[in-house]
A = this chain, B = another copy of it.
């Protein structure tokens, strides 16, 4: 008890009081305050490189791919022909990297609000920032919310890779944001947004899913394992303009060889289906 550890970083956040995850730091590679948030990059002894925004772990080299692959391929594989994709947020480049792997995707537009996150990722997190090199990608620095006001009926899939709903990302969890995404979608379009976990924040899950249900005729919640996030997992809401979409039954499947060729380490069809399985205590709240 009474932890005293030198050279360890501990996450602390009002969203998860009373428990915390810590890692041993090899070196603090970068620290600055951008106009939007405090950015830190660490080299760690057990997790590789780690990106921290406002004191919260955003991704570690050890497990970032499960998050990036799932927030990308869950919506992409529920869409018959996802040619044009909008990414809001995702300043580390990881989602762009994985969206670009899908063979149907021809064009990716990304809007990230914080140029400093992009710059820092390019310098210290090349395994994710490689996404910015994709020829499919057009990158804008700006507010995704504002961007969508001027882009109607343009996208097949919109992925919101945001931080948690404190700080710059608050607006991305609100009804008018989901309404804007709806208007920016082509017919049969699909959205997917980070939405917290039922272990730590059942209200956030229920509220975000309800907002999604209000705006989209089909909506569901899925979850994936990410060991270095609080509760070791992270969830998504997914919504479609089509009716009666069975999100847990993807319209596009890839063989194991194809997945390996695309360098997908986590996502496959079984994992896709499994992500939508919910425990009883969650169903009892969500369906109430």
Contacts and interface: CB of A to CB of B under 8 A. Distances in A.
A231 B20 CA distance: 13
30 contacts: A1-B10, A2-B6, A2-B8, A3-B3, A3-B5, A3-B9, A3-B10, A3-B22, A17-B45, A18-B23, A18-B44, A19-B22, A19-B23, A19-B47, A21-B21, A66-B279, A199-B225, A226-B232, A231-B232, A232-B232, A232-B233, A233-B233, A260-B284, A266-B279, A266-B281, A268-B280, A270-B278, A271-B278, A273-B277, A274-B275
Nearest to A199: B227
Interface of A: 1-10, 16-25, 28, 44-47, 63, 66, 199-200, 223, 225-233, 256, 259-260, 264-268, 270-271, 273-281, 283-284
In the complex, the count of this chain's copies comes to 2
B1 A9 contact: yes
Contacts of A66: 279
A19 to B, nearest CB: 4
Nearest to A16: B46
Contacts of A9: 1, 3
